């Protein structure tokens, strides 16, 4: 696996890259946002937010706009607002400095396992069909009444989670755990942002129902 390490501080980047290589990862270093956006072939991105040229949030947004590559934000900025913004912009996980190498490797493996499951698990042999909504798991494609709906990677993962159990309420903790691979529950505002986007793109807000104080459910056929 090729990990793109986006970190401008040599004192952090060099030992981290060495540690990751000892764990069997290939590591490509980018010291600026421009270098990160120009890099090719990464299987996962470790992204620091404090970069000398481009704000890390901007890099995260641009990477997510053009790719489903897993992104783990690695930052000393551990405030709730920073976590929420990072997840809203498409990060798959958020790790606060300082952290241990073992923790980071575990996060990397969990994120790649989860994103790999979404893209190529045995369950992908069948489409998910709920009324006029069809989710093609193999092609990563969603249609409503035959018309294709363009979703981001996180939106697709969230809709797929709900569509596996139409009519059942999925609590917010489970959504954060399975879609964002996080056990941090300080705020679920990022879920609301993604749900609003999905409703808009599906063309009918009634597709996803909010069960106050519990979670969400996909309207059954």
The whole-angstrom separation of Cα 135 and Cα 166 is 13
Across the chain, mean pLDDT equals 85
User: What domains sit in the chain, N to C, each tagged with a CATH number?
Assistant: 2-118 (3.40.50.2300), 122-218 (1.10.10.10)
∠ CA 170-176-178, rounded to 5°: 75
Residue 218, pLDDT score: 94
Q: What is the pTM (predicted TM-score) of this model?
A: 0.58
Q: Is residue 64 left, alpha or beta, with left meaning phi > 0 and alpha meaning psi from -120 to 50? A: alpha
In which band, very low, low, confident or very high, does the pLDDT at 187 lie, cut at 50, 70 and 90?
low
The whole-angstrom separation of Cα 197 and Cα 216 is 14
Q: Are 179 and 158 in contact (CB under 8 A)?
A: yes
- Pairing status of strand 133-136 against strand 147-149: unpaired
CA distance readout (Å), 173 to 119, 164, 182: 23, 17, 9
Does 182 score more than 90 pLDDT? no
CA distance readout (Å), 4 to 14, 23, 58, 116: 13, 15, 16, 18
In which band, very low, low, confident or very high, does the pLDDT at 115 lie, cut at 50, 70 and 90?
low
The whole-angstrom separation of Cα 74 and Cα 94 is 6
Question: What's the mean pLDDT in 172-191?
Answer: 73
């Amino acid at each position: 696996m090729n990990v793109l390490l986006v970190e401008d501080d040599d004192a952090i980047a060099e030992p981290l890259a060495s540690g990751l290589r000892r764990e069997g990862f290939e590591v490509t270093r980018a010291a600026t946002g421009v270098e990160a956006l120009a890099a090719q072939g990464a299987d996962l991105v470790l992204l620091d937010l404090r970069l000398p040229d481009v704000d890390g949030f901007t890099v995260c947004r641009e990477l997510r706009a053009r790719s489903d590559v897993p992104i783990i934000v690695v930052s000393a900025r551990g405030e709730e607002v920073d976590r929420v913004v990072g997840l809203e912009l498409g990060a798959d996980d958020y790790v606060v400095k300082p952290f241990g190498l073992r923790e980071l490797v575990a996060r990397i493996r969990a994120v790649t396992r989860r994103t790999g499951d979404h893209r190529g698990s045995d369950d992908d042999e069948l489409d998910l069909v709920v009324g006029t909504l069809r989710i093609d798991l193999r092609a990563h494609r969603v249609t409503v009444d035959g018309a294709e709906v363009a979703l981001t990677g996180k939106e697709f993962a969230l809709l797929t989670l709900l569509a596996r159990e139409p009519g059942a309420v999925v609590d917010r903790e489970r959504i954060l755990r399975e879609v964002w691979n996080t056990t941090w529950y300080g705020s679920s505002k990022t879920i609301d942002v993604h749900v609003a986007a999905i409703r808009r793109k599906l063309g009918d807000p009634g597709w996803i129902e909010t069960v106050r104080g519990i979670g969400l459910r996909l309207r059954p056929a």
